Amino acid sequence: MKVAFPYMGTTVIYKKLLELLGHEVVEPPEPTQRTIDLGVKYSPEFACFPLKVVLGSYIEALEMGAETLVTSGGHGPCRAGFYGEIHKKILKKMGYDVDIIVFDDYKRDIMGTINKVLRVKNGKPWRTVWRAIKTVYAMAKALDGIEKRIGRIRAYEINKGDCTKAWQAIKEKFDKVQTVEDVERAEKESHQLLDGITLRPVPDSERIRIGIVGEIYVVMEQSINLRIEETLGGMGAEVERSQYISEWIDFHLKPGAAAKEHELKILKKGEKYIQEIIGGHAKQTVGYIVNFAERGFDGIVHLMPFACLPELISQSIIPSISKDYNIPVISLSIDEQTGAANVLTRLEAFMDLVRNVKITKTA
């Protein structure tokens, strides 16, 4: 079957999993204004922005011949859990005869998950499935490590754009891997590539570190968050996100308590401000702000889709955390109306504030 997936973040990982299981993969293009326009046109007006962009991405994949869509689900008291059903209904109404396989927390429906695995398994022997999972998990870990390193060094590149070019080349390199050994080789070569980027030396006291927190889709998908990591890097800031795909896999899919330690630690840090899981990643957002502040970061950019209920709640709590930890935080609401010039101006002003607070702290 011709299979596609929603475009989010480092898509080479999802593509590779489906390829290793022998599917004909239709990779949707990176979201553009057309993707957003399509999603906005066919979604309910008050749907969350990620639902609209993902719908646009699905339509583009279906136009390219996809027959089945494989995605992850969501649960908790927000709209994420309805994405699969709503997308299916809208696409059916538009005349697409499409099958959507939604993977969710396996503990909530073990039999249902097994059935879905059997369908995606595509008749391959279990050892092939196991090899594919191991390869893709190693890829996710390696690519996240590399992306974190790029987030740290982009601010200091002498030739602007070197890191972005290297990241593109690295994704292409990983697109060719077939085994865990290939992943290890690609990882080593990728770090060598990054070693070759000329950086200007910066004393520790002048480093500005910004944590990016918020709803998973707008945090991870650079095409709709106005390439926030590149933008902040260009302004001289090191960046690190609250969401990385390998950490999501560890918490939601990987069995065993050890894999969940990191996320549980973050949730615990958020407990003082939000006691309950209120949907989306609101509790992680709050926990990560505390975590970044404790690690000495200088500022936080909080990204939220317009009208995202969980992130509206975390936004209302942020002034208290900002005061408790003396760390500047800016919240940016993202949707189809978001203007790049407006965001850029606000970020420039925010970076001035971050630098001034740092000077005051170290004076």
Contact footprint for ligand SF4 (CB under 6 A): 48, 50, 78-80, 215, 279-280, 305, 308-311
Query: Nearer Cβ to ligand SF4, position 105 or 175?
Result: 105
Taking residue 262's Cβ as centre, other Cβ atoms within 10 Å add up to 13
The Cα–Cα gap between 18 and 4 comes to: 9
Nearest-approach distance from CB 331 to ligand SF4, in angstroms: 14
Query: Nearer Cβ to ligand SF4, position 180 or 312?
Result: 312
Query: Nearer Cβ to ligand SF4, position 15 or 79?
Result: 79
The Cα–Cα gap between 283 and 265 comes to: 11
The Cα–Cα gap between 317 and 333 comes to: 16
Nearest-approach distance from CB 230 to ligand SF4, in angstroms: 23
The Cα–Cα gap between 355 and 12 comes to: 36
Query: Nearer Cβ to ligand SF4, position 47 or 150?
Result: 47
* Paired tokens of 291: 């975590």
> Angle between the 126-153 and 162-174 helix axes, to the nearest 10 degrees?
170
* Paired tokens of 76: 């908790």
Nearest-approach distance from CB 270 to ligand SF4, in angstroms: 15
* Paired tokens of 310: 């969980």
Rounded to 5°, angle at Cα 249 from 267 and 106: 95
Query: Nearer Cβ to ligand SF4, position 238 or 311?
Result: 311
Nearest-approach distance from CB 48 to ligand SF4, in angstroms: 3
Q: What is the dihedral of CA 264, 141, 245, 151, to 10 degrees?
A: 100
Query: Nearer Cβ to ligand SF4, position 288 or 297?
Result: 288
Query: Nearer Cβ to ligand SF4, position 211 or 279?
Result: 279
Nearest-approach distance from CB 305 to ligand SF4, in angstroms: 4
Nearest-approach distance from CB 77 to ligand SF4, in angstroms: 9
Q: Locate the DSSP E strands across the chain.
A: 2-4, 24-25, 68-72, 99-103, 208-214, 237-241, 299-305, 329-334
Taking residue 112's Cβ as centre, other Cβ atoms within 10 Å add up to 13
The Cα–Cα gap between 49 and 41 comes to: 12
In this chain, which residue has its C-beta nearest to ligand SF4? 280
Would you list the DSSP string of 105-130?
Answer: -GGG-HHHHHHHHHHHHTT--HHHHH
Query: Nearer Cβ to ligand SF4, position 280 or 328?
Result: 280
Nearest-approach distance from CB 310 to ligand SF4, in angstroms: 5
* Paired tokens of 319: 């002034």
Nearest-approach distance from CB 304 to ligand SF4, in angstroms: 7
